[in-house]
């Protein structure tokens, strides 16, 4: 190959390479912009709980000692004594209920206190929690009445956070210590009888009544089964569902504490306020301490007595509130679904306790993280109903090998693998809480509440939050200072901090718009044809149609001032000596004191007889503001001064030449 050809090829390669580099520099390859970064949002811990477990968890922060001390602090409450502190205690409880949004009243003639938390369901089901308020003839009644009443008050405090389909009643009974016989064996229980009678007369379908009677005694040296009893009527006469089921349910909820301190017990001889509900055919359980008092050394009746353990009172309140939520949820076309969501370390285990109201096979479904290995055990009163291992699968779908018996059931999940098991399982089962043979999912139904349920009060219903992927339990999911309801309503992003963005490009950030009350998705929030930014700048109202107003009385409405670029709060916005209306009528700029930018203020041009819209009035190529004589065309004068003499001279010279 000749040298000339090689040089030509090299030159060609150089040209191609140069062209390629130039193309890349001028037209870089398209790289799609990465999507907006979504902030990592930690879900609220309640998301891993069942609704009744939320009720239990809420009890961690609720106060038990304040109502206990307040009731004890008013002394003897025996209502027959003129100087009784009963009404002081009753007033305190009624005021406390009202503060929680729970209506309260005195039930005549013996003035028992009754609180009512109305449900949103369409049926008349209700659950009642009660305790006696008046004490024995002597003493402050720490054990006799204050402990149980404080439990009921704490239950009300927890459940006030919920809106339930069923009603909840809170009873504080008067006159329970009055005896009808000299041997003091038969109590009158007037207050409980009057409340039970009123509920029946009002056609309230009470599905469960729990009475808390002397719950503070505790001797830690005694066996656990003597700490607390959930006493129920005879199962062989009244059936499981109206007796032991309600006791078993309370025991199962108490097991959320991890403590074994309460036992279901058949007992139909205890005289307490629950008796009067049984007389009306209402299923009732009496919760009482199993402590055996030493008659030779009885405890002192005082709040700081070493014999009184308030821990069990707190746990009872939490468990009872969980029972109310559990019972209130049964129905509406849904089976009961018990969620278990855990990150189990190797050899760790988690258990749930529940109660079957019908014998049935149970379904377990859910997800297990990759490389997880778990063992599932289900035990009922007849022993082991299921033992199986799920290994290295993500989707789990199992059923028990036999029917699980009526009564308490425990399911335990153990991580038998070598790595952490990321677990989300559901135990599904049917419920028939009243034992009539019709499943709750078919028997009880209710429409959506009005207004809709909104747990976190962010203006977005719980159902809408599911659709928006926001957190039901957090009012501001992305923690950007703007409520989820507002973000969804105005189309900002509730899952990303977009406070400094400007959705509608009107010059106001999203956060600033929310602070002002303007709409971040509209440049004109009040639709008055004046932009939000302009209204904010000139201090008109961006939320009200004030386009027709004239605050500066210059005969220009706000809208006209906006259209012409004038100041709505000054009749001479540019302070040039010419009113805005006159400037508009002349076609001048009401926000500039020199409309034609000729260096001469508009007001002065008008005074001098010049035109504020013509920068060179005399057309002499000198701006009016820099022209010593802006009315006279300097070029014309110069021309006249120079051209005329020259012309005359030329004529004269021409004539002389011709002669």
At 416-448, the pLDDT tens digits run: 988 888 999 999 999 999 999 999 999 999 999
Q: State the Rg of the chain over Cα.
A: 42
pLDDT above 50 (res 203): yes
Least confident of 27-36, 507-516, 528-537: 27-36
Looking at the DSSP bridge assignments, the partners of residue 286 are 211, 231
Task: Name the DSSP letter for residue 334.
Answer: B
Q: Alpha-carbon distance 492 to 490, whole Å?
A: 6
Q: Alpha-carbon distance 565 to 570, whole Å?
A: 12
**The tokens of 470 are what?**
């926001």
| 494 contacts: CB under 8 Å, gap ≥ 6 | 468, 470, 477, 478, 482, 484, 487, 488
User: Domains plus CATH for the chain?
Assistant: 48-329 (3.40.630.10), 336-429 (2.60.120.260), 455-492 (no CATH)
**Per-residue model confidence (pLDDT) at position 624:** 46
**Degrees to nearest 5, angle at CA 60 with 325 and 128:** 35
Beta strand extents in 72-222 (DSSP E only): 103-107, 112-117, 125-132, 167-173, 205-213
**Per-residue model confidence (pLDDT) at position 288:** 93
In this predicted model, which residue has the larger pLDDT, 571 or 299? 299
Determine the average pLDDT of the residues in 444-466.
Answer: 94
Least confident of 129-138, 178-187, 331-340, 590-599: 590-599
**Per-residue model confidence (pLDDT) at position 368:** 87
Indicate the pLDDT class of residue 616, thresholds 50, 70 and 90: very low
Least confident of 80-84, 328-332, 620-624: 620-624
SS3 (DSSP) at 341:
strand
The two beta strands, 205-213 and 284-289, are parallel
pLDDT above 80 (res 658): no
In this predicted model, which residue has the larger pLDDT, 43 or 630? 43
**Per-residue model confidence (pLDDT) at position 523:** 84
**The tokens of 189 are what?**
């229980």
Average pLDDT over the chain, rounded to whole?
84
Least confident of 121-130, 361-370, 387-396, 478-487: 387-396
Least confident of 114-128, 341-355, 607-621: 607-621
Q: Name the most confidently modeled range: 182-196, 346-360, 517-531.
A: 346-360
**Per-residue model confidence (pLDDT) at position 284:** 97
CA dihedral 485, 490, 491, 495 (to 10 degrees): -40
Q: Alpha-carbon distance 308 to 150, whole Å?
A: 13
Q: Write the pLDDT tens digit of every residue in 545-559.
A: 888 887 877 777 878
Q: Alpha-carbon distance 231 to 266, whole Å?
A: 6
**Per-residue model confidence (pLDDT) at position 2:** 64
% residues pLDDT > 70 (the chain): 77
Q: At what angle do helices 51-58 and 310-329 cross, to 10 degrees?
A: 160
pLDDT above 70 (res 562): yes
**Per-residue model confidence (pLDDT) at position 267:** 92
% residues pLDDT > 90 (the chain): 49
pLDDT above 60 (res 637): no
In this predicted model, which residue has the larger pLDDT, 659 or 375? 375
In this predicted model, which residue has the larger pLDDT, 135 or 208? 208
pLDDT above 90 (res 37): no
Note if the bond before 501 is cis, omega within 30 degrees: no
In this predicted model, which residue has the larger pLDDT, 450 or 594? 450
Give the residue from 84, 89, 193 showing the smallest Cα distance to 150.
Answer: 89
pLDDT above 50 (res 618): no
């Amino acid at each position: 190959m000749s040298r000339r050809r090689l040089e030509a090829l090299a030159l060609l390669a150089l040209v191609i390479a140069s062209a390629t580099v130039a193309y890349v520099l001028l037209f870089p390859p398209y790289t799609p912009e990465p999507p907006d970064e979504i902030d990592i949002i930690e879900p609220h811990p309640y998301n891993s709980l069942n609704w009744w477990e939320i009720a239990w968890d809420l009890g961690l922060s609720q106060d038990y000692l304040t109502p206990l001390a307040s009731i004890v602090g008013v002394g003897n409450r025996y209502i027959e004594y003129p100087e009784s502190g009963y009404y002081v205690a009753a007033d305190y409880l009624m005021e406390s209920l009202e503060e929680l949004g729970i209506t309260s009243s005195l039930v005549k003639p013996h003035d028992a206190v009754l609180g009512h938390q109305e449900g949103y369901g369409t049926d008349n089901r209700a659950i009642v929690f009660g305790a006696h308020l008046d004490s024995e003839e002597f003493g402050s009644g720490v054990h006799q009445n204050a402990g149980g009443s404080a439990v009921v008050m704490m239950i009300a405090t927890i459940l006030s956070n919920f809106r339930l389909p069923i009603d909840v009643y809170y009873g504080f009974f008067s006159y329970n210590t009055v005896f009808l016989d000299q041997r003091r064996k038969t109590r009158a229980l007037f207050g409980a009888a009057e409340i039970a009678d009123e509920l029946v007369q009002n056609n309230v379908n009470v599905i469960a009544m729990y009475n808390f009677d002397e719950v503070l005694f505790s001797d830690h040296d005694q066996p656990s089964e003597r700490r607390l009893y959930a006493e129920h009527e005879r199962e062989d006469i009244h059936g499981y569902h109206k007796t032991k089921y309600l006791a078993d349910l309370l025991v199962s909820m108490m097991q959320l504490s991890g403590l074994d301190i309460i036992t279901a017990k058949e007992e139909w001889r205890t005289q307490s306020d629950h008796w009067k509900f049984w007389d009306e055919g209402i299923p009732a359980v009496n919760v009482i301490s199993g402590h055996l008092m030493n008659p030779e050394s009885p405890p002192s009746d005082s709040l700081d007595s070493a014999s009184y353990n308030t821990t069990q009172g707190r746990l009872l309140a939490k468990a009872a509130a969980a029972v109310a939520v559990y019972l209130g949820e049964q129905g509406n076309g849904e089976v009961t679904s018990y969620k278990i969501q855990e990150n189990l370390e190797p050899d760790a285990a988690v258990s749930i306790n529940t109660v079957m109201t019908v014998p049935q096979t149970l379904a377990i479904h859910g997800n297990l993280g990759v490389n997880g290995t778990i063992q599932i055990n289900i035990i009922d009163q007849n022993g082991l109903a299921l033992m199986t291992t799920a290994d290295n699968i993500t989707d789990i779908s199992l059923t028990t090998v036999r029917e699980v018996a009526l009564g308490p059931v425990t399911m335990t999940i153990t991580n038998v693998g070598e790595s952490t098991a990321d677990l989300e399982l559901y135990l599904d089962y049917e419920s028939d809480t009243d034992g009539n043979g019709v499943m709750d999912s078919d028997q009880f139904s209710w429409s959506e509440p009005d207004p809709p349920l909104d747990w976190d009060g962010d203006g977005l219903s719980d159902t809408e939050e599911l659709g928006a992927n926001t957190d039901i339990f957090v009012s501001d999911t992305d923690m950007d200072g703007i409520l989820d309801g507002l973000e969804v309503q105005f189309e900002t992003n509730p899952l990303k901090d977009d406070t400094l963005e400007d959705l509608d490009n009107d010059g106001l950030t999203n956060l600033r718009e929310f602070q002002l009350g303007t709409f971040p998705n509209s440049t004109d929030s009040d639709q008055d044809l004046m932009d939000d930014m302009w209204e904010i700048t000139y201090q008109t109202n961006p939320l009200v149609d004030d386009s027709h107003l004239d605050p500066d009385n210059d005969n220009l409405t706000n809208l006209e001032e906006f259209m012409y670029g004038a100041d709505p709060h000054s009749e001479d916005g540019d302070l040039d000596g010419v009113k805005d209306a006159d400037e508009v009528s002349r076609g001048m700029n009401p926000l500039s004191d020199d409309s034609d930018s000729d260096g001469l203020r508009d007001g002065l041009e008008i005074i001098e007889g010049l035109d504020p819209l013509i920068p060179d009035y005399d057309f002499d190529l000198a701006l009016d503001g820099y022209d010593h004589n802006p009315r006279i065309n300097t070029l014309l004068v110069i021309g006249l001064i120079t051209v005329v003499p020259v012309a005359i001279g030329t004529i004269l010279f021409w004539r002389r030449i011709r002669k």
